[in-house]
Amino acid sequence: MSTTARSYLDQVLNTMQTNSINRKTIDWTAFRRSVDEVAPTAQSVQDLYPAIRTALGLLDDHHSFYQGPDGTYVYNPSPRGNCTDPTPPVPDIPVAIGYVKVGSFSGSAGESVDFAQGIQNVVRTADRADLTGWVVDLRHNGGGNMWPMIAGLGPVLGDGDAGAFIDPDDGIIWWGYRGGASISGGTALVTVPNPYRLFRQNPRVAVLTNCAVASSGEATTIAFRARPDTRSFGTATSGVSTANRGYPLTGGGTLQLTVSTMADRTGRKYGDVVMPDEVITDPTETVRRAVEWLQSGR
């Protein structure tokens, strides 16, 4: 292996060993030996991609990934879930129930604000003084950036802590929504310029999920867990309810490493699939049951 390749691979492995969510349970001597065996004569960073892919699998977090200096993505070879759910049909929702669908998002800071504002615009249009409650449809939300999702849903979600990230040392960072912004550790991350407030605060909410809900989509799902007057319907999420952090590497590229577990507002940790309160496999029946629950008032 060339000096350049050796230095780069050591940087990747050292970052994993120092920060991985599973750093306390991995045999790092055996881990490094297994990775080194994959590309023993690597000369360039690109030659290391098979070794990095092996390392991502050995981390056993199902979520970490890598982007090389040439833009190549190396994904975790052992992802959780194998979702084959088709895109659900547009639901038929009574006019007395608000409906907002939130999909995945990845984009710039400016686009994040626009995305969050777009969600709040939908909420503003659907809101009425006599609404029975809200359906928050997260089905097929594959993740990306959670912060504009939380900021956009803030009027329905309500102010306050909605979840947390907990690391292997039990360090905790609380996050939620306040004053038109998604908040993490007390810092506003995405702020809606003119935040909307519902006619009726703290409404009843039915949350819809399926197996295509992943990562930041799962964080948004968890934001509604343990919230008063809230119930979820559908099927279990993908199972990567963990948080990644980006580590830029000397020589180019970024390691997106899983470093903490998502928790709800009570501090309950997830890290795997998020099960709905009512498991319903048929998407039309999922909507019907959610509407029935909202209309029942109990």
Q: From start to end of the chain, where are the E strands?
A: 65-67, 73-74, 97-101, 133-137, 160-166, 172-178, 181-184, 187-191, 205-209, 230-234, 242-248, 254-264, 278-279
> Is 285 inside any structural domain?
yes
Same domain, 228 and 128: yes
- 18 and 149 part of one domain: no
CA distance 53 to 230: 40
According to DSSP, the residues that pair with 97 across neighbouring strands are 133
231 and 125 within one domain: yes
Beta bridge partners of 232: 207
User: What is the pLDDT, as a whole number, of residue 83?
Assistant: 84
Output b/e per residue, 126-140; b: 16+ Cβ within 10 A. bbeeebbbbbbbbbb
Q: Determine, yes or no, domain membership for 88.
A: no
CB neighbour class for 238 (10 Å; exposed up to 12, middle 13-18, buried from 19)? buried
Q: Which residue has the tokens 């003084």?
A: 129
When divided into structural domains, the chain yields a total of 2
Tell me: do 290 and 143 sit in the same domain.
yes
pLDDT for the residue numbered 110: 93
Residue 298 confidence (pLDDT): 67
Q: Are residues 54 and 144 in the same domain?
A: no
Calpha distance 112→250 (Å, rounded):
28
User: pLDDT digit of tens for each residue in the chain (298 aa)?
Assistant: 999 999 999 999 999 999 999 999 999 999 999 999 999 999 999 999 999 999 999 999 999 999 999 999 999 998 887 788 888 888 999 999 999 999 999 999 999 999 999 999 999 999 999 999 999 999 999 999 999 999 999 999 999 999 999 999 999 999 999 999 999 999 999 999 999 999 999 999 999 999 999 999 999 999 999 999 999 999 999 999 999 999 999 999 999 999 999 999 999 999 999 999 999 999 999 999 999 999 997 6
List, as one string, the DSSP characters of 94-157: -TTEEEEE---B---HHHHHHHHHHHHHHHHHH--TT--EEEEE-TT---B-HHHHHHHHHHHH
- What's the pLDDT at 185? 96
Q: What are phi and psi of 48, to 5 degrees?
A: -85, -10
Task: Give the range of the structural domain holding residue 115, as residue numbers without chain letter.
Answer: 97-238+273-296
Residues 119 and 231 in one domain: yes
CB neighbourhood size of 233 (10 A): 24
pLDDT of residue 84: 81
Per-residue pLDDT at 226: 97
* pTM of the shown model: 0.94
Same domain, 125 and 10: no
Separation CA 84–CA 211 (nearest Å) = 8
CATH number at residue 222: 3.90.226.10
Judge whether 252 lies within some domain.
no
> In terms of domains, do 104 and 43 share one?
no
Same-domain status, 17 and 149? no
Residue 83: inside a domain, yes or no? Answer: no
**Is residue 70 assigned to a domain?**
yes
Residues 233 and 127 both lie in one domain? yes
The DSSP 8-state label assigned to residue 269 in this structure reads B
